[in-house]
Structure 1
Amino acid sequence: MSPLLIFSLICSVTLLVSGVAKARDYVPTATAIFNLKIDKWLPIRVKTAAKILPWAEIALGVALLVLPGIFQVLAAVITLVLFVFYWVVIARALMSGNDASCNCFGGASTAPISRWTLARNTALVLAAVVTVPGALAFGVPALALFFALDARDWFWLLGAALAVATLWFIHRADASPATAAQTSSAVGSSRVAASATSTPSTANAGSTADVEDSNGATGAVLDDAQELDDYVRLPIPFGALKTRSGSVHNLRELASSQARVLLWVSPTCGPCIDVIEQIPTWHEKLPMLGVHPVVASEEFIDQMNLPAHITVFVDEGYATQASFGNGTPMAIALGVDGLMAGGPVFGSGSVKEFMRDLMFEFDIEENKE
């Protein structure tokens, strides 16, 4: 019975860890639903689904551990269906080029989707596949199987636990102290700060963007001596945004006159609302930067009710955003030297942390009036 116990425990522990992580904060889950474009499949509101999912996973994990008979079989089947659904979502995102974070374990997992994410989900599907016939054959919960273990079974179980622990410790030892989103946010904010406070005489003498900012501040070329060795700055991709008046500006043109922070948001996106509400504050507290929301259509501009002096850009069909990844809210920073200065970062929490880091670099208190 030990093989069944191992596979059942894999599914149960995964569900419990995932559910507890998601229950701490529903926002990352809601963000993932929007980023992975699952919201169109849901029969209920995204916010409601993000709050229900963690407890459903926890209940399912507990059911695999303690429920007997037909309930054990039902729990195993539902687990298989859920893991297959997660697999399809990840595979679909990879095929479409969407590398936004799935937040599969809530805010604790902000890494972008990759082939490793799909490989992990494939392993979970295989574990669930084995759990179903095991539940049909024995009809007993995982905890009950502990009482039927003999000495050999215990050695197999302890060996499996030791293998998992070893791989986990290796992963933790090789992992960087900060997550990818946090590193991108912190390093990027330093780049923007340096770009906006450099000597104006060093700025590129190229064309300036036909975009008005309330302060008229201009940035400058980032000093190469200030760059961190572990941050590879890539050229700003080619892409265009337009204003409500119809004028079109490419990203490099926008950044040639002033360091910019672009915030892809949508008034129909739950996690974006908190970001949209803080845009006027960020615009006011960071007058040395161009802080601009970017939306998918002109109809969204009025729905956000932002002050008229804040320039909002339109990225029709998210064509320009596709160069960075898909999903809202998203933030990037552009340096006046034609190089990326930070981001992209996805999710409400990561975007707000990105902006907090910016204000810290400029010695601006977040709650200062």
Structure 2
Amino acid sequence: MILAFASALCQLFLAGVFVASGVGKLRNRSSVPEAVKALGLPPQLGTGPAGRAFPWLELVLAAALLLMWGPLGLIPVAAAGLLCLGFTVLVGRAVASGTTASCNCFGAKGAPMSRLTVLRNGALTLTATAALAGRIAGGPSLDTLLREGAVAGAAALVVVGCALWFLARDSAPAAEAAAPAQEPASAYPVLPELEAEDEEYRRRPSPAVQLTGIGPNAGETLLTTELVREGPAVVLYVSPYCGSCTAVLERGDEITAALPGVSVLFLFSAAHEDVPDEWEEPGLPLYRDTHDAFAGLLGITYTTPALVLLGTDGLLAAGPEFGVDSIMDTVREIAEVLEEARQQQDTDQPRQEADNQ
């Protein structure tokens, strides 16, 4: 009875794991394509129907683990075991290759993959094996376990809860700690340069990398240096499935209206060869960071949404700025600086004409 109870407890634990994983991925839609890329799989698996369906499949598997305790219970337990084994192999391969990306196993971007991640997934595989052994041996059903001891049931819930807490802690979001330090939003110069209010903005060279068009721009390639031939350019680095990025998308018209004469474009990671149709609504150019070189050089990989302003002199004029509020504040400040520059130009022009006369 003890072994049968232990195998049933393993099955309950696996159900909790897949509930946490599925819900986490639904809350952070960009986690699946980012995980696919981090694990070295074809990007289409993360951005196509399979990527969108995967969190729901995990929840269906969790429901089956909770509800199927008879002979048919072998099916979901075996499926869970194969899934855990597959992820163990993929994570092991990624760690061996030296990756520093997070597996996003529970939706949130956590610590980089390591041997601990491999051991954790291996432990889940062994847990599924134990649950499968219990099903094969004809272990008790869930209602039998509940009838035979409330104390045992309570102990089971405590064990499952503690184990899930450990997994969640290991996969806790690390975006805030890992995000690059933000410069003061008011401390950027836009040509012509103005003095910073707090400390001088440290201008860095703009990345000179190739971008690939997607959506209406499909098949087009250009260098980032071409973006500033006729004036400064705002690059909005986004993910098609992140909630904050959708908020930036909804304010696309507001951004372009505030920055006349400034090129504005959406830039996606290399994993996104196609994006939902709603991203075409503002009419802004859509590009993908072909080799993730632009984001990598600026240290904004997987940190979305982000804004940078490319100056005409080959240097960054603002950013990176992260988050909707910071992005919109920066857009307003860019607009103010540009308006001051235009007013100054309008004032200087009559004087110049008078001097020429």
> 1:14 corresponds to which letter in structure 2?
V
Whether contact under 8 Å (1:218, 1:288) holds in the other structure is no
How far apart are the structure 1 equivalents of 2:123 and 2:176?
A: 28
**1:1-369 equivalence runs, <5 A:** 1=2, 2-23=5-26, 25=27, 27-32=29-34, 35-36=37-38, 38-39=41-42, 42=45, 46-95=47-96, 99-106=100-107, 109-111=108-110, 113-115=112-114, 116-149=116-149, 157=156, 160=159, 163-164=162-163, 171=169, 179-181=173-175, 188=182, 191=183, 193-196=185-188, 218=193, 223-224=198-199, 240-241=208-209, 249=225, 261=235, 263=237, 281-285=254-258, 292-294=265-267, 316-323=290-297, 324=299, 331=306, 333=308, 341-342=319-320, 354-360=323-329
Pairs aligned (count):
305
Q: Please state whether the residue corresponding to 1:27 is helix, strand or coil.
A: coil
> 1:317 corresponds to which letter in structure 2?
H
CA pair 236-270 structure 1, distance change in 2 beyond 3 A? same
1:92-114 deviation per Cα after TM superposition (whole angstroms, max 9, x unaligned): 444556555544334xx233543
**Cα RMSD between the aligned structures?**
5.4
The CA deviation at 1:67 is: 1.4
> 1:181 corresponds to which letter in structure 2?
A
How far apart are the structure 1 equivalents of 2:12 and 2:332?
A: 49
Q: Please state whether the residue corresponding to 1:68 is helix, strand or coil.
A: coil
Whether contact under 8 Å (1:185, 1:357) holds in the other structure is no
Whether contact under 8 Å (2:238, 2:266) holds in the other structure is yes
Whether contact under 8 Å (1:262, 1:333) holds in the other structure is yes
> 1:137 corresponds to which letter in structure 2?
A
CA pair 27-157 structure 1, distance change in 2 beyond 3 A? closer
The residue that corresponds to 2:337 in the other structure is: none
> 1:85 corresponds to which letter in structure 2?
G
> 1:28 corresponds to which letter in structure 2?
S
Whether contact under 8 Å (1:27, 1:271) holds in the other structure is yes
How far apart are the structure 1 equivalents of 2:56 and 2:281?
A: 36
The CA deviation at 1:78 is: 0.2
How far apart are the structure 2 equivalents of 1:245 and 1:121?
A: 40
1:238-284 deviation per Cα after TM superposition (whole angstroms, max 9, x unaligned): 9532588976759xxx9xx989655277xxx7779967786565344
How far apart are the structure 2 equivalents of 1:125 and 1:164?
A: 15
How far apart are the structure 2 equivalents of 1:219 and 1:95?
A: 49
> What 5-or-longer segments of structure 1 have no aligned partner?
201-215, 227-232, 346-353, 365-369
Q: Please state whether the residue corresponding to 1:194 is helix, strand or coil.
A: coil
Q: Please state whether the residue corresponding to 2:110 is helix, strand or coil.
A: coil
How far apart are the structure 1 equivalents of 2:109 and 2:78?
A: 29
1:43-64 deviation per Cα after TM superposition (whole angstroms, max 9, x unaligned): xx94533443333222222222
How far apart are the structure 2 equivalents of 1:218 and 1:14?
A: 53
Percent identity, aligned pairs only, is 21
1:5-46 deviation per Cα after TM superposition (whole angstroms, max 9, x unaligned): 3322221111123234445x573355436644645574xx94
CA pair 259-51 structure 1, distance change in 2 beyond 3 A? closer
Q: Please state whether the residue corresponding to 2:20 is helix, strand or coil.
A: helix
> 1:359 corresponds to which letter in structure 2?
M
CA pair 77-270 structure 1, distance change in 2 beyond 3 A? same
TM-score (norm 2): 0.58
> 1:127 corresponds to which letter in structure 2?
T
Q: Please state whether the residue corresponding to 1:240 is helix, strand or coil.
A: coil
CA pair 26-294 structure 1, distance change in 2 beyond 3 A? closer
The CA deviation at 1:72 is: 1.2
Whether contact under 8 Å (2:28, 2:242) holds in the other structure is no
The CA deviation at 1:77 is: 0.5
The CA deviation at 1:124 is: 1.9
The CA deviation at 1:130 is: 1.9
Whether contact under 8 Å (1:236, 1:334) holds in the other structure is no
Whether contact under 8 Å (2:33, 2:43) holds in the other structure is no
How far apart are the structure 1 equivalents of 2:318 and 2:123?
A: 36
